Every structure is written in structure tokens, then in C-alpha cells.
Structure 1
Amino acid sequence: MTSGISSIASSTTAATSTGTSAQEIAGNFTQFLTLLTTQLKNQNPLDPMDTNQFTQQLVQFAGVEQQLKTNDRLDNILTSSKAASSATATSYIGQAITADGLSADLTSGGSASWTLNAARAATKAVVTILDSKSNVVGTQTTSLTAGSQAFTWNGRTASGMNAPAGTYTIKVSAQDATGASVTVDTSTSGTVSQVDLSGAAPVLLVGSKRIPLSSVQRVGLSTTAG
């Protein structure tokens, strides 16, 4: 019967690691206590059972029970955290945001815009626009002032044609008057129209662009009429 008790203890530990429900663990524990009580009642007085083995098995079950309680608490914390994040994300709907990122959407016949933040003034900045396949569709040479400023691409390719609607990426290579490289951070702006809550973390939708909540840098009132 001792081997039966050991088998139950082992299966309980294995069940915990594979995600078996707490009800099954509790059932195993009840069965363990029943077998233990029966074995104690029917043990041979001349050959008593090894109490150390029982102690180890009881400690093992106590550890499993504590692990289940810890898992339940963690699940509750994660649920509460996700609910809080979801509530925060939905408050962004209708708000104008600026988010860290290299991509922006170009509408048919429209333009795409980014916010460039130069560490210091750059006398020469080569701005390259790439499509979703990383093909260069246009370049522009300009100058940048120190700090934040808007850059708008009119949607025209290097050949003068209108680029198709879609998501485009910006790449900036800048130099100051001495020829030293200037760091330029990029971001994108727009009005949040929807929030996707289906994943592990909320995602803001600005047009067709998906922006993680953690990448939002600034939030303001939307200037879109309506």
C-alpha cells in the first residue's frame, strides 16, 4: 500500500506541472489520506511503517497545494492587470497620439507624415522612404533643426508617380555642419480609431497601423472634425 501512496504523490506532482485542475489534485489528496489512514490502522506492530516516508509525502502535497494557491493568485493579478490596461487603452479612442515608430500610412492620393526629433541641427538630412517590401520608393534631402519637427511625404515616388496606398517606412541619415552624424528619432502621429483587445496586450489602431500601447509617447485632443 505504501507504493500506492507514493504513486498518488508522484502523479499529483506531475499533474500540477501539466496543468491538471485543482479539483483533481484535491481528489488525489483525499485518496492519499484515505490510504494513509487505512495503512496506519492495519500496520504490523512488529514492522511499523517508515514515518519519514509519510512526512516526505505530506510535505510534497503541502508544496503542491501552495503552488496551486500561488498560481491562482498570479492568475488573478494578471486578469486585473489586463483589465486595467484595457480600460486605459480604450480611453485613447478619438485621441491624437504620437508614437515611437518608423512606419506611417499613406492613403490613396494623400500623404504620410512622421515626427523627426534631431539631437541637434543637421545641415544635411537624407530621408529615404521604403515600401512594405523594403524597396526604396523615394528620397529627399533636407535640413533639420534641433528638436521635434514634422516631416510630410507627398506620396510621390522618385519617378514622379503617386505611390499606392499602404504602410511606408522612413529612414533618416543626418549630418551637422562639421560632417558628424546626427541622431534622429522618428515617430508617427494620428487619431486612434479602434483598440484591439484580443491579444495579450492592447493594441491601438491608427488607420490601418497597429501601435502597441507601450510605444505611445504623447497624447492630445484630436483635431479631426466630426
Structure 2
Amino acid sequence: MSTGISSVTGATTTASSATKTSSQEIAGNFTQFLTLLTTQLKNQNPLDPMDTNQFTQQLVQYAGVEQQLKSNDRLDAILNNAKSSSTASATGFIGQTVTSDGKTADLADGSATWTLNPSKAATQATITIKDANGNVVASQSKSLTAGAQSYVWDGRLSTTGMNAPVGTYTIQVDARDATGSAVTVATQVTGKVDGVDLSGTSPVLLIGSARVPISSVRNIGSGLST
């Protein structure tokens, strides 16, 4: 798969348009308020001038609207800088091998690999592999030691023994200790980052057909992640 960066222009344009419209509305209200205030001052009755308290309140409102406009400009600048920094960081992952939290892995070259990390030793663990439609394609029972360990599925279907088609598969682990109590098993996947999707609010790494949020990355480089 070719590496690259993808984005949805429509989503970005919509968000930008919404922000621009909001700023224009505030600016329009500010201009209208300023016009009304100056007109009111010009047309005061010298014999019955504007009440001092009322005038003060209007000046406070004027200052408040002005500060809101400045705050919006600063927030926009901060958000743009943060997005640029996040994008630059995400593109640095392209071509890197990363390990991230997840249950879904690609079956390629006759195998799919996960990292299993039981919270404690499990004397009985049922490992189930499902295809993209949720159908069970393979199942195995085995014991698991505590700590990170690699689990490799050879891609063979339990029902026929034939090789499963290339695609995305999900692992499910039901583990119990010697007393029959449930054991929590964290699952992780390792793969090479092919590209980055920038269409959402935060970048998403593309590993084969899997989508991995940067926040899920636990290790950069080959090997087990603890």
C-alpha cells in the first residue's frame, strides 16, 4: 500500500466556514452596537442628557464585545498552531512500526499477530478469532502466563483447516485463573504505519486496513510492548 496523508476537504471547509460565520456575526453585532452608541451620543437632548449609569453600562457592554472578538482571534490562532503541531507529529509516524492498543489485525503472508498481556497467569484461556463480519473463524484454548506475550494465528479456519482469505480479523480472549475468576487480558497490535488520516479532529494512523488513534500508540519500533 502506498504511504500518504489523507484528509476530507469538505469537513475542513465546513468547520472553517462555521468559525468564519460565527466571527462575522459577532463582528456585525459589535459594529451595530458601536453605531447605535455613537448615534445615541450625537443625538442627545442637551436639556435631558443620557443617564450616567445607563451610559456606563453601555460602555461596559462595548468593552465586553471587544474583548470577545479579541479572545476568538486568539483561540483560533491557538487551535491552528495546535493542529499544525499535531499534524507534523503524526506524519513522523509514516514508515514506523508501532504497537498500539487494539483487537484488530490484518492477516497477511499467512499469519496475523497480536500481543496479549494478562493481568495475571490464566490456567484456561479461550482465544477466538472473528472475521470482519463478526463470524468466528478460529478458536483455541491454552494457558497464558502473566505479562506481555505474542500470539500468532496461522490463518487456518477451524472448521475446514483451509487458509482464511486475506483481510482484517479481530481477537477475543476469555481467560480465567486456577480459582475460576476472570482474568483481564489487554490486547495490542503491531504494524507499519502506511499513512495518516487528517480528516477528523485528531490525526489517525493507517496500518493496513486498521485505523489507530495516536493516543493508542504504546511503543514505536519492533518488539513487545509492556
TM bracket (short chain):
0.7 to 0.9
**Structure 2 residue matching 1:113: 3-state secondary structure:** strand
Corresponding residue number in structure 1 for 2:148 = 148
Tell me, which stretches of 5 or more residues in structure 2 are unaligned? Answer: 1-18
Q: 2:68 and 2:30 mapped to 1: Cα distance?
A: 13
Q: 1:144 and 1:175 mapped to 2: Cα distance?
A: 9
Q: 1:182 and 1:156 mapped to 2: Cα distance?
A: 27
Task: Please state how far the C-alpha of 1:29 moved relative to its aligned partner.
Answer: 4.3
Corresponding residue number in structure 2 for 1:10 = none
**Structure 2 residue matching 1:147: 3-state secondary structure:** coil
Q: Deviations over 1:101-130 (max 9, x none)?
A: 1111123x6221111001122222100112
Corresponding residue number in structure 1 for 2:79 = 78
The one-letter code of the counterpart of 2:166 is A
Corresponding residue number in structure 2 for 1:19 = 22
Task: Please state how far the C-alpha of 1:177 moved relative to its aligned partner.
Answer: 2.7
Q: Deviations over 1:55-99 (max 9, x none)?
A: 222222211111121122111111111111111111111111100
The one-letter code of the counterpart of 1:27 is T
Between the two proteins, what is the percent identity of the paired residues? 56
Higher alpha-carbon deviation: 24-33 or 160-169:
24-33
The one-letter code of the counterpart of 2:49 is P
Q: Which structure 2 residues correspond to residues 81-160 of structure 1 after superposition, within 5 A?
A: 81-107=82-108, 110-159=110-159, 160=161
Cα-Cα RMSD? 2.2
Task: Please state how far the C-alpha of 1:27 moved relative to its aligned partner.
Answer: 2.8
The one-letter code of the counterpart of 2:96 is Q
Corresponding residue number in structure 2 for 1:204 = 205
Give the TM-score normalised by the residue count of structure 1: 0.81
Q: 1:221 and 1:215 mapped to 2: Cα distance?
A: 16
Tell me, which stretches of 5 or more residues in structure 1 are unaligned? Answer: 1-15
- Structure 2 residue corresponding to 1:28, chosen from 28, 32, 50: 32
Asked whether the 8 Å contact 1:98–1:187 carries over to 2, the reply is yes
Q: 1:132 and 1:200 mapped to 2: Cα distance?
A: 26
Q: 2:100 and 2:203 mapped to 1: Cα distance?
A: 14
Q: 1:178 and 1:23 mapped to 2: Cα distance?
A: 68
Asked whether the 8 Å contact 1:97–1:192 carries over to 2, the reply is yes
| Higher Cα radius of gyration | 1
Q: 1:27 and 1:60 mapped to 2: Cα distance?
A: 13
**Structure 2 residue matching 1:73: 3-state secondary structure:** helix
Q: 1:68 and 1:103 mapped to 2: Cα distance?
A: 46
